Chain A
Amino acid sequence: MQHNSSARSGNNTNTEPAPVRWLLVATAMLFLTLFLFVPLAAVFSEAFSKGWETYLAALREPDTWSAIKLTVLVAAISVPLNLVFGLVASWAIAKFAFPGKSLLLTLIDLPFSVSPVISGLIYVLLFGLQGWLGPWLQDHDLKIVFAAPGIILATIFVTFPFVARELIPLMESQGREEEEAALTLGASGLQTFFLVTLPNVKWGVLYGVILCNARAMGEFGAVSVVSGHIRGMTNTVPLQVEILYNEYNYAAAFAVASLLALLALVTLVVKSWVEFRMKRQEIQS
Chain B
Amino acid sequence: MSIEVSGVSKQFGAFTALQDISLTVPSGELVALLGPSGCGKTTLLRIIAGLESPDRGEILFNGENAHDDVRERQVGFVFQHYALFRHMTVFDNVAFGLTVRPRKERPSKGAIRERVHELLKLIQLEGIADRYPAQLSGGQRQRVALARALAVEPKVLLLDEPFGALDAKVRIELRRWLRRLHDEIHVTSVFVTHDQEEALEVADRIVVMNKGKVEQQGTPDEVYSRPASPFVYSFLGTVNMFHARPQAGQTASTEHHSVGYARPHEIDVSRQDPGNGAIAVTVSRVLPLGAIVRLELARVDTGGLMEAEIPREKHEELWFTTGEQVYVSPKNLVVFVEDYQI
* Binding between chains A and B: yes
B100 lies within 8 A of A183 (CB): no
Give the shortest distance, in Å, between B118 (CB) and chain A (any CB): 17
Proximity string of chain B (60-74) to chain A, C-beta cutoff 8 Å, 1 when within and 0 when not: 000000000011011
In the complex, whether B85 has a CB less than 8 A from a CB of chain A is yes
In the complex, whether B96 has a CB less than 8 A from a CB of chain A is yes
Give the shortest distance, in Å, between B128 (CB) and chain A (any CB): 16
In the complex, whether B77 has a CB less than 8 A from a CB of chain A is yes
In the complex, whether A188 has a CB less than 8 A from a CB of chain B is yes
In the complex, whether B75 has a CB less than 8 A from a CB of chain A is yes
B132 lies within 8 A of A181 (CB): no
**B contact residues, range:** 20 to 34
A181 lies within 8 A of B100 (CB): no
B96 lies within 8 A of A185 (CB): yes
- Quick one: closest A residue to B96, CB to CB? A185
B79 lies within 8 A of A177 (CB): yes
CB-defined contacts of B71 to chain A, threshold 8 Å: 183-184, 186-188
Give the shortest distance, in Å, between A205 (CB) and chain B (any CB): 13
Give the shortest distance, in Å, between A94 (CB) and chain B (any CB): 16
B97 lies within 8 A of A185 (CB): yes
Among residues 39 to 68 in chain B, which have CB atoms less than 8 Å away from a CB atom of chain A? 49-51
Q: How many angstroms between the C-alpha atoms of A195 and B93 in the bound complex?
A: 11
**A contact residues, range:** 10 to 19
Give the shortest distance, in Å, between A180 (CB) and chain B (any CB): 6
Given A181-B79, A186-B97, A285-B134, A200 contacting B152 (CB threshold 8 A) = no
In the complex, whether A233 has a CB less than 8 A from a CB of chain B is no
A180 CB contact (under 8 Å) in B83, B87, B145: B83
Q: How many angstroms between the C-alpha atoms of A74 and B96 in the bound complex?
A: 40
Give the shortest distance, in Å, between A146 (CB) and chain B (any CB): 47
Q: How many angstroms between the C-alpha atoms of A185 and B101 in the bound complex?
A: 9
Which residues of A approach B to under 8 Å, CB–CB? 177-178, 180-188, 191, 195-196, 199-200, 281, 284-285
A180-B83, A187-B71, A191-B100 given; name 7 further pairs at CB < 8 Å.
A180-B70, A182-B96, A184-B73, A186-B97, A187-B97, A284-B86, A284-B134
List the 3 closest A-B pairs by CB distance, nearest first: A185-B97, A177-B83, A284-B134
